[in-house]
């Protein structure tokens, strides 16, 4: 029985709303619905009556609330005991997209080291396709996967969160297109393009969108590492297409700027998953909570 499902159940019961609970927990409503359904299937009972837009606890649901609260209290007490010196040990294996490893993961890892200094952390990255990471999860080579892609689902996965990541055309702040109110695709594509490799999710989505409009991409440079792309932009000029989280610091410092283009609106998502049959070790549970807080807090 997944602790995450129990926590979600208690939040839905308290707020009497799937959508409100989803907003509070930072999940999609579909993820909350799926977690409750998994819990109901495991218990073999219906926990909520759903009539129109109104939900109410069933009699079985009211009984389970008491037990669920006791379970979460026990988990809380266990975490508190860890903080007081009962050290968590073992290994945590994380599969992560390279750009996320460079931009979001370090802060979460720093916090995790403070809480679990005796846990060995192993990072496995995939510079290109998220499918590599999914394969690692299926083969039990990693405990969890943190990746960037269009929304993907699998009945074998537990999805912790999905966070929309806006992706923009960007250029050095002195580039002439930066100051224009709305830039055409023709103007953008006539400039030297420095892009990620084709197999990376947002590059693939851009290729598909442009193909629908009759355009083709011919970059002067392709690289899987976003830090290298940013350095090339700053040193040599040109235009790239990158998720905001990877360039936020450069935009805040005024070194890069977004090019306004209404013809392109592509949305990908950072997503955190683990296998539904994965044993939830203390280190995995603790890190998931830290990464969730870090990822949501950076938005």
- Answer for the pair 195, 203: CB distance below 8 angstroms, yes or no: yes
pTM of structure: 0.65
Q: Determine the 3-state secondary structure of 268 from DSSP.
A: strand
Q: Give all strands (DSSP E) within 102-225, no chain letters.
A: 119-126, 144-149, 157-172, 194-195, 221-222
* Choices 3.40.50.300, 3.40.190.10, 3.40.50.2300, 3.40.50.360: CATH for 165-267: 3.40.190.10
- Which residues does the chain have with pLDDT short of 70? 78-86, 127-129, 297-299
Instruction: Supply the pLDDT for residue 98.
Output: 81
Bridge partners, residue 121, by sequence:
92
pLDDT at residue number 85:
45
User: Which pLDDT value is given to residue 102?
Assistant: 81
Output the pLDDT for position 50: 83
Q: Which CATH class is domain 3-83?
A: mainly alpha
Spell out the domain ranges in the chain. Answer: 3-83, 90-163+269-297, 165-267
CATH homologous superfamily of 90-163+269-297 equals: Periplasmic binding protein-like II (3.40.190.10)
Identical topology for domains 90-163+269-297 and 165-267: yes
Q: What is the pLDDT at residue 73?
A: 80
């Amino acid at each position: 029985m997944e602790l995450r499902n129990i926590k979600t159940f208690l939040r839905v019961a308290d707020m009497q709303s799937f959508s409100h609970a989803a907003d509070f927990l930072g999940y999609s409503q579909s993820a909350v619905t799926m977690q409750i359904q998994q819990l109901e299937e495991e218990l073999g009972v219906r926990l909520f009556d759903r009539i129109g837009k109104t939900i109410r606890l069933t009699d079985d649901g009211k009984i389970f609330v008491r037990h669920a609260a006791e379970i979460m209290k026990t988990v809380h007490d266990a975490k508190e005991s860890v903080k007081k010196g009962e050290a968590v040990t073992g290994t945590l294996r994380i599969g992560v997209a390279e750009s996320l490893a460079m931009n979001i993961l370090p802060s979460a890892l720093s916090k995790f080291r403070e809480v679990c200094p005796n846990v060995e952390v192993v990072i496995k990255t995939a510079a290109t396709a998220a499918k590599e990471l999914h394969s690692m999860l299926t083969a039990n080579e990693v405990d969890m996967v943190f990746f960037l892609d269009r929304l993907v689902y699998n009945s074998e996965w537990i999805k912790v969160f999905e966070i929309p990541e806006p992706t923009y055309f960007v250029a050095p702040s002195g580039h002439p297109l930066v100051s224009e109110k709305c830039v055409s695709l023709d103007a953008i594509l006539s400039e030297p393009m420095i892009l990620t490799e084709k197999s990376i999710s947002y590059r693939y989505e851009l290729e598909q969108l442009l193909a629908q409009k009759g355009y083709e991409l011919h970059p002067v440079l392709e690289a899987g590492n976003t830090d290298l792309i940013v350095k090339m932009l700053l040193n040599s000029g040109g235009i790239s297409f990158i998720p905001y989280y990877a360039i936020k610091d450069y935009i805040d410092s005024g070194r890069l700027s977004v090019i306004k283009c209404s013809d392109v609106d592509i949305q990908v998502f950072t997503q955190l998953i683990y296998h539904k049959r994965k044993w939830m070790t203390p280190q995995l549970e603790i890190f998931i909570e830290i990464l969730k807080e870090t990822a949501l807090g950076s938005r």
